[in-house]
Structure 1
Amino acid sequence: MDIDSQLDAVDRGLTTGTRDGADTFVQTLAQTYPAPIDDVWDALTSAERIPRWFLPVSGDLRLGGRYQLEGNAGGTVESCDAPNSYGVTWEYGGGVTWVTVRLTEVQPGRTRVELQHVAPSADLGAEMWEQFGPSATGIGWDQTLLGLAQHLTTGEVRPDNAQEWLVSDEGIGFMRGSADRWSAAHVAFGAEPEVARTAADTTFAAYTGAAPASMD
Structure 2
Amino acid sequence: MFDVTQQIDAVRRQVGAREYQGRTAKVVTVGQTYGATVEDVWDACTNAERIPRWFLPVTGELRLGGRYQLEGNAGGVVERCEPPLSFAATWEFGGEVSWIEVLLAEEPEGGTRFVLQHIAHVDDERWAEYGPGAVGVGWDLGIMGLARHFGAPGDALDPKEGTAWLASEEGRRFVRESSESWYEANVAAGEDEAAARAAADRTTAAYGGTAPE
- Cα distance in 1 for partners of 2:161, 2:4 equals 18
Q: Indicate conservation of the 8 Å contact 2:173/2:209, yes or no.
A: no
- Corresponding residue number in structure 2 for 1:182: 182
Query: What residue ranges of structure 1 are gaps of 5+ in the alignment?
Result: 212-216
Structure 1 length normalisation: TM-score?
Answer: 0.93
| Amino acid across the alignment from 2:137 | I
- C-alpha distance after superposition, 1:185-212 (max 9, x if no partner): 000111111111111001111111769x
| Amino acid across the alignment from 2:178 | S
- Cα distance in 1 for partners of 2:159, 2:140 equals 17
- Corresponding residue number in structure 1 for 2:26: 25
Alignment of 1:191-202 (within 5 A): 191-202=191-202
Percent of paired sites with the same residue: 51
- Corresponding residue number in structure 2 for 1:214: none
- Cα distance in 2 for partners of 1:161, 1:145 equals 16
- Cα distance in 2 for partners of 1:159, 1:24 equals 31
- Corresponding residue number in structure 2 for 1:169: 169
Q: Which moved more, 1:151-160 or 1:30-39?
A: 151-160
- Cα distance in 1 for partners of 2:103, 2:71 equals 23
**Pairing 1:48–2:65 present:** no
- Cα distance in 2 for partners of 1:36, 1:12 equals 22
Instruction: Report how far residue 127 of structure 1 moved.
Output: 1.3
Counterpart of 1:153 in 2: which secondary structure? coil
- Cα distance in 1 for partners of 2:15, 2:80 equals 23
- Corresponding residue number in structure 2 for 1:107: 108
**Pairing 1:154–2:155 present:** no
Q: Indicate conservation of the 8 Å contact 1:37/1:109, yes or no.
A: no
Alignment of 1:1-216 (within 5 A): 1-107=2-108, 109-120=110-121, 124-154=122-152, 156=156, 158-208=158-208
RMSD over aligned Cα atoms? 1.5
Alignment length (residue pairs): 208
Counterpart of 1:198 in 2: which secondary structure? helix
Counterpart of 1:208 in 2: which secondary structure? coil
Structure 2 length normalisation: TM-score?
Answer: 0.94
- Cα distance in 1 for partners of 2:159, 2:68 equals 22
Counterpart of 2:150 in 1: which secondary structure? helix
Instruction: Report how far residue 108 of structure 1 moved.
Output: 6.5
- Cα distance in 2 for partners of 1:28, 1:14 equals 6
Q: Indicate conservation of the 8 Å contact 2:85/2:105, yes or no.
A: yes
- Cα distance in 1 for partners of 2:180, 2:151 equals 25
Query: What residue ranges of structure 2 are gaps of 5+ in the alignment?
Result: none
Q: Indicate conservation of the 8 Å contact 2:176/2:210, yes or no.
A: no
Instruction: Report how far residue 18 of structure 1 moved.
Output: 1.0
Q: Indicate conservation of the 8 Å contact 1:36/1:108, yes or no.
A: no
**TM superposition outliers: structure 1 runs of 4+ over 6 Å:** none
